[in-house]
Amino acid sequence: MRCQPRVVTMTERAAADDDVRTDGGTATQRVATDGGSMDEHEHYEAIVVGCGPGGAAAAAALAANDVETLVLERGVDAGSKNVSGGLIYAEESAPYTIDDLFPDFRAEATERPAVEYKMHNCSEEKVATFDLESIHQNGTEWCDAVLRRHMDSWLAEQVHERTRETGGGLLTDVRVNGLLRENGEIVGVTCDELDPITADLIVAADGVNSELGRDAGLMDWDEPDDWFQGVKAVVDMDRETIEERFDLDGADDGAAHLFSGDLFQGVRGGGFLYTNEDSLSIGTVFHLDSIAAERAEPQELLDALLTHPLLDQWFQGEYEELEYSAKLVPDSKKVANPSPHKGRLLLVGDAAGQMQAQGPIIKGMNHAVSAGGLAAEAFQDAKTRGDPSAAGRLYEQKLHDEGVMDQLRPTRYEATSWLSESSVMTSIGSAVMNSPIGRFGVKTFDGLLEKSFNSPFVLGMIPDTKISYVTVPTVIGDVLGEPVSAEHEIEPPDLADRIGDLTYDVGDPHIEVLDNSYEASGTAVTACPVSAEDFGGGCYRSETIESNGDTERVVSLDTQPCVECGTCAVVADTHWEHPAGGKGVEYKQG
């Protein structure tokens, strides 16, 4: 018998007799597994793992070509595991946009258009603001703020209806934990909650911590400088107040603000604020290697932004935090996989490192949509040619031919970063910027500076150093900025309250510390967004133990408050997996 997928939990599925498909079609495939036995498995033409924008795009495009498609989502609902800043773009040059695939998307699934786009260069309590509308609108059809729980769950409903018509559907509460192989070749997926399933195509849209990508050897967690860490607060604010305080012209107007300079303890990165329909998304994004090196604590960096006097014009002493969240973000310049496929497996979105972060250019979901659409297109082309196994090669070719890889891995950055990011150039640049000559140059060429921040050419080779994220904006703020004198007295929740306000369905521990010495894993105590030194209620804590007269500093772990960001998999010696389907943290906002 064969399951009849629909948007249901696994508990509901197990209890309902009508969840079993008996359509009489070819529903199984016999596979000689690597263990040597012949097993009969349920079979679909295509399996899509994850129903974020990339997975939804792939599923919709596959269904449009009548490809029998099963979508597996590990959350209790699509979006319950997902976090984004979040702006979603539709670009004029993109091969696919989300509203091409889902025409009602903007009316049903987004918050507000991001019309205004500004960057604030901060130096203590002086701020110089640049208008970045030119780079924001460059090649852009539209750009909207989104909250992932609402957006992804709406997409999931559309995806389920379309894939049902192909003989597939969408199942939630299913963790896909690895790849099924026959004689060493990928033929399907394995799950915690279901028997193995085979498919002619497997689209891994399972996010930045892709278990399928790691199983296939297409991604790893080896280098902290390959990743950013994003931390976000969703803040309650009613529609009328947002429009009044941000000077917006009704529901079809919205604002995006970026923040950089000296307000983040010298950590490389910055902050953002996006207006939603009746809330604000406020967060920080930093290079993970910089967070680790500075021993910075993510929640403190977020609080530095939230309590800056500049934000008083919007908060005006009122602050109610709805949700605290975190995630890793791939740096596409370094980890966007130029060949994101292996056998029947194709990676899309964060699983393939497809997140564009170049100064104020922060785009990810649009690239996931393009990749999902191109993956489905490649499979259909391969079928038409009579060789479905060629889908991966065609997908790689399409990513390059459509210009997606040029945006993710700009050649100007690859050509110049060896010099611009060298220690010599960093030292010289920092000395010049902080010298009287550098400050005079900033004052003299202030208009040119703003233009350079709006130049795709310049931003395509901006170095990932403190000069770009800390030194330059701090000097700009000090030289060109105006004092902000507001009394900003809000008090963000402490870490214990932030953790306590999240929703969890705690399952078995999903992370194991392999080396608990502070030297090997102590960075997780500060870098984990739900941990901190001298805080005993988070995932990681340090303690000193005595043994045979010697003392040793070690790390202990409690996975219960884990927000599943994956930070500790990079900065500590751990074995990291996702929790079982439907278990762990459940985001209400995203």
Residues 19-70 pLDDT 10s:
333 233 345 766 665 655 657 899 999 999 999 999 999 999 999 999 999 9
Q: CA separation (Å) from 458 to 135, 291, 369, 433, 437? A: 11, 26, 26, 18, 22
| Average pLDDT along the chain | 93
Domain 2-17+42-107+148-219+337-408: CATH superfamily, name plus number: FAD/NAD(P)-binding domain (3.50.50.60)
Going by C-alpha positions, the residue among 530, 523, 556, 491 that lies closest to residue 298 is 530
The rounded Cα 64 to chain-centroid distance in angstroms is 27
**CATH architecture of the region 495-586:** 2-Layer Sandwich (3.30)
% of the chain surpassing 90 pLDDT? 86
Mean pLDDT computed over 428-443: 93
CATH class of 113-145+221-329+418-492: alpha beta
- The DSSP call for residue 467 is I
Alpha carbon 363 to its chain centroid, in Å, reads: 10
| Percentages of the chain per state (helix, strand, coil), in multiples of 5 | 35, 25, 35
| 260 strand-pairing partners | 121
- DSSP state for residue 579 in the 8-state scheme: P
382 forms beta bridges with: none
Span 270-305, pLDDT tens digits? 999 999 999 999 999 999 999 999 999 999 999 999
More confident residue, 6 or 102: 102
Q: Which helix (H) or strand (E) holds 533?
A: none
Would you say the pTM of this structure is higher than 0.85?
yes
Confidence check: pLDDT of 569 > 80: yes
- The runs of H, that is alpha helices, within 454-532 are 456-459, 466, 472-480, 495-500, 518-521, 523-527
pLDDT band at 487 (very low <50, low <70, confident <90, very high): confident
pLDDT confidence bin for 358, thresholds 50/70/90: confident
pLDDT at residue 485, as a whole number: 85
Q: What is the 3 state secondary structure string of 413-446?
A: HHHHHHHHCCHHHHHHHHHHHCCHHHHHHHHHCH
Domain range summary for the chain, segments of one domain joined by +: 2-17+42-107+148-219+337-408, 113-145+221-329+418-492, 495-586
